[in-house]
Structure 1
Amino acid sequence: MRTLSKRQLKELVLYSSQHIAWLEKSGKFPKRVKLGPNRVGWVEDEVLDWLQSRLEGRESA
Protein backbone atom coordinates (compact mmCIF):
# COMPACT_ATOMS: atom_id res chain seq x y z
CA MET A 1 0.00 0.00 0.00
CA ARG A 2 1.29 3.44 -0.91
CA THR A 3 0.23 6.81 0.45
CA LEU A 4 0.19 10.09 -1.46
CA SER A 5 1.33 13.42 -0.05
CA LYS A 6 -0.80 16.52 -0.52
CA ARG A 7 1.47 17.62 -3.37
CA GLN A 8 1.23 14.24 -5.11
CA LEU A 9 -2.53 14.21 -4.64
CA LYS A 10 -2.94 17.68 -6.15
CA GLU A 11 -0.83 16.66 -9.17
CA LEU A 12 -2.97 13.57 -9.70
CA VAL A 13 -6.41 15.05 -9.05
CA LEU A 14 -5.84 18.70 -10.12
CA TYR A 15 -8.15 20.15 -7.44
CA SER A 16 -7.27 22.81 -4.90
CA SER A 17 -6.68 21.81 -1.28
CA GLN A 18 -9.92 23.54 -0.30
CA HIS A 19 -11.94 21.63 -2.88
CA ILE A 20 -10.41 18.31 -1.84
CA ALA A 21 -11.25 19.07 1.81
CA TRP A 22 -14.85 19.93 0.84
CA LEU A 23 -15.20 16.69 -1.15
CA GLU A 24 -13.81 14.70 1.79
CA LYS A 25 -16.24 16.30 4.25
CA SER A 26 -19.18 15.64 1.96
CA GLY A 27 -18.18 11.97 1.59
CA LYS A 28 -17.40 12.29 -2.13
CA PHE A 29 -13.65 11.70 -1.91
CA PRO A 30 -11.43 9.23 -0.03
CA LYS A 31 -10.59 10.32 3.52
CA ARG A 32 -7.07 11.34 4.46
CA VAL A 33 -5.00 9.22 6.84
CA LYS A 34 -3.23 10.92 9.74
CA LEU A 35 0.38 9.71 9.56
CA GLY A 36 1.81 11.84 12.34
CA PRO A 37 1.20 15.05 14.27
CA ASN A 38 1.78 17.25 11.21
CA ARG A 39 1.47 14.83 8.32
CA VAL A 40 -1.45 13.38 6.36
CA GLY A 41 -1.66 11.19 3.29
CA TRP A 42 -4.19 9.50 1.05
CA VAL A 43 -4.21 5.83 0.12
CA GLU A 44 -3.19 5.74 -3.54
CA ASP A 45 -5.47 2.81 -4.44
CA GLU A 46 -8.52 4.61 -3.00
CA VAL A 47 -7.74 7.77 -4.98
CA LEU A 48 -7.16 5.78 -8.18
CA ASP A 49 -10.48 3.95 -7.64
CA TRP A 50 -12.18 7.34 -7.22
CA LEU A 51 -10.60 8.57 -10.46
CA GLN A 52 -11.66 5.38 -12.24
CA SER A 53 -15.25 5.88 -11.13
CA ARG A 54 -15.13 9.41 -12.57
CA LEU A 55 -13.89 8.04 -15.88
CA GLU A 56 -16.60 5.39 -15.96
CA GLY A 57 -19.22 8.08 -15.24
CA ARG A 58 -17.91 10.06 -18.20
CA GLU A 59 -18.33 7.08 -20.52
CA SER A 60 -21.96 6.53 -19.52
CA ALA A 61 -22.90 10.22 -19.90
Structure 2
Amino acid sequence: MNKIIRIKEVTSRTGLSKSYIYALAKEDKFPKSIRLIKGGAAVGWLESSINDWISDCIANQENA
Protein backbone atom coordinates (compact mmCIF):
# COMPACT_ATOMS: atom_id res chain seq x y z
CA MET A 1 0.00 0.00 0.00
CA ASN A 2 1.32 3.43 -0.94
CA LYS A 3 1.48 5.90 1.90
CA ILE A 4 1.49 9.64 1.25
CA ILE A 5 3.91 11.67 3.33
CA ARG A 6 3.97 15.44 3.80
CA ILE A 7 6.87 17.87 3.38
CA LYS A 8 7.92 17.73 7.05
CA GLU A 9 8.51 13.98 6.77
CA VAL A 10 10.22 14.37 3.38
CA THR A 11 12.66 16.97 4.74
CA SER A 12 13.33 14.77 7.77
CA ARG A 13 14.06 11.68 5.67
CA THR A 14 16.19 13.39 3.04
CA GLY A 15 17.95 16.03 5.13
CA LEU A 16 17.09 18.59 2.45
CA SER A 17 15.35 21.91 2.97
CA LYS A 18 11.83 22.49 1.74
CA SER A 19 12.95 25.05 -0.85
CA TYR A 20 15.71 22.76 -2.17
CA ILE A 21 13.25 19.87 -2.53
CA TYR A 22 10.94 22.05 -4.63
CA ALA A 23 13.88 23.32 -6.71
CA LEU A 24 15.05 19.77 -7.42
CA ALA A 25 11.50 18.70 -8.32
CA LYS A 26 11.24 21.61 -10.75
CA GLU A 27 14.42 20.33 -12.46
CA ASP A 28 13.02 16.75 -12.54
CA LYS A 29 15.72 15.62 -10.09
CA PHE A 30 13.28 14.77 -7.28
CA PRO A 31 9.91 13.01 -7.25
CA LYS A 32 6.98 15.27 -8.05
CA SER A 33 4.48 16.06 -5.35
CA ILE A 34 0.87 14.93 -5.49
CA ARG A 35 -1.95 17.40 -4.93
CA LEU A 36 -4.05 16.03 -2.08
CA ILE A 37 -7.16 18.14 -2.56
CA LYS A 38 -8.40 19.15 -5.99
CA GLY A 39 -7.80 22.87 -6.34
CA GLY A 40 -6.13 23.01 -2.94
CA ALA A 41 -2.59 23.77 -1.88
CA ALA A 42 -2.01 20.61 0.19
CA VAL A 43 0.55 18.27 -1.37
CA GLY A 44 2.34 15.09 -0.43
CA TRP A 45 4.71 12.52 -1.87
CA LEU A 46 4.41 8.80 -2.27
CA GLU A 47 6.56 7.25 0.42
CA SER A 48 7.79 4.65 -2.07
CA SER A 49 8.99 7.39 -4.45
CA ILE A 50 10.97 9.07 -1.70
CA ASN A 51 12.44 5.74 -0.58
CA ASP A 52 13.43 4.95 -4.18
CA TRP A 53 15.04 8.39 -4.57
CA ILE A 54 17.07 7.89 -1.38
CA SER A 55 18.13 4.41 -2.54
CA ASP A 56 19.23 5.82 -5.90
CA CYS A 57 21.31 8.49 -4.15
CA ILE A 58 23.03 5.82 -2.08
CA ALA A 59 23.65 3.61 -5.13
CA ASN A 60 25.08 6.53 -7.11
CA GLN A 61 27.39 7.38 -4.21
CA GLU A 62 28.64 3.80 -4.01
CA ASN A 63 29.29 3.71 -7.77
CA ALA A 64 31.18 7.02 -7.81
TM superposition score normalised by structure 2: 0.90
* Aligned with 1:58 (options 43, 56, 61): 61
Q: How many residues align?
A: 61
More strand per residue: 1
Partner of 2:50: 47
Gaps of 5+ in 2: none
Q: CA RMSD in A?
A: 0.7
Percent identical pairs in the alignment equals 28
Show CA shifts across 1:9-35 (max 9, x none). Answer: 110011111100100000000000000
Gaps of 5+ in 1: none
TM superposition score normalised by structure 1: 0.94
Partner of 1:21: 22
